[in-house]
Structure 1
């Protein structure tokens, strides 16, 4: 059976809890909105594959994550997209460190149906009306969050709860494996 999966970066629990409080505060002001109940994360990609393909995916994620080195992420401002997404954005240094993680992970999966993210951020709300975007930007004016990015997670979509849940965590170990070069014995 084909299932829906996502690869993401999770901040630590205390930041997830803080962002959940922000989402609840926004909901108090505007009512329910898309991604209200979503756990805070930075999306790398989404895809659908048959369950039997999952072990290959996990192995690819393990290998690519094993090659990454941990780094600090600094989220320091809010922004919005024209499609109604209101989000927390990283500073330029963090964005420069996150983008290769997104790109290399996407490439490592070798999937043709990949829905890629190329602008790292943590969504507060999605598909907000212009009025609700304005309310969000008035409610949340400053932010200053730091965390150590030291892993990626694989998540599976629960069609009943309409949420993703983590099914695997892949640690950054800084193991830059040299490419195999075929040489001659003689």
Structure 2
């Protein structure tokens, strides 16, 4: 049976709680909105495949994650994608530069799949907000300082009834970077 999956970075419990508080506060001001109930995360990609194939892709994710070195992520400002009605928390430049290769390498490892990719690391507060609700969100939330240690990737599966993703596997960073190939000389 075909299922929908998501590969993501989950922050610490402290960051989860802070983002949930913000989502709940926004919900109290504008009512229900897309992603108001989803756990804080940074999406890497989404895909749909037959569930009988997922183990093969879990192995690929595991191999890539084994090469990653854990690092600190600093979230320090808000942003929006006006065309998508999204309001989000963004990482600082150093964190963004550390997150992008992680995202790209994981997306490359899943290449045979038709991926819905995220190119810009961010943590959504709300999605598909109307222009009015986007303005409300930007007035409610103006400053942010959150940090977490990024040391794993999660694989999530969509619950078609609840329309929420839930974690089915975790892939720790192995701190085993691939040695860079250096052209040598025999003589």
Normalising by structure 1, we get a TM-score of 0.94
Partner of 1:32: 32
Partner of 2:65: 65
Separation of aligned partners in 2, 1:20 and 1:33: 13
* Local SS of the residue matching 1:19: helix
Please say if 1:21 is aligned against 2:13: no
* Partner Cα separation in structure 1 for residue 76 and residue 142 of structure 2: 10
SS in 1 for 2:66: helix
Unaligned segments of structure 1, at least 5 residues:
181-186
Q: Please give the root-mean-square deviation of Cα atoms over the aligned residues, in Å.
A: 1.2
1:129 aligns with 2:134: no
Q: Distance in 1 between matches of 2:112 and 2:32?
A: 34
- Deviation sequence 1:24-75 (CA, Å, 0-9, x none): 0000001100000010000000000111111101100110001000011000
* 1:179 Cα deviation after fit: 8.0
Per-residue CA deviation, residues 106-156 of structure 1 (Å, 9 max, x unaligned), is 001123311110000000000111111111011001000111100000000
Is residue 163 of structure 2 the alignment partner of residue 156 of structure 1? Answer: no
The aligned residue for residue 169 of structure 1 is 170
Following superposition, the deviation at residue 177 of structure 1 comes to 3.6
Deviations 1:1-23 (A, max 9, x none): 11000000000112101100100
1:88 & 1:133 partners in 2: Cα distance? 13
After the TM superposition, which parts of structure 1 deviate over 6 Å for at least 4 consecutive aligned residues?
none
Deviation at 1:178, TM superposition (A): 4.3
* Equivalent in the alignment of 2:80: 80
> Where does the alignment leave 5 or more consecutive residues of structure 2 unmatched?
182-187
| C-alpha distance in 1 between matches for 2:141 and 2:173 | 32
SS at match of 1:11: coil
Aligned length: 180
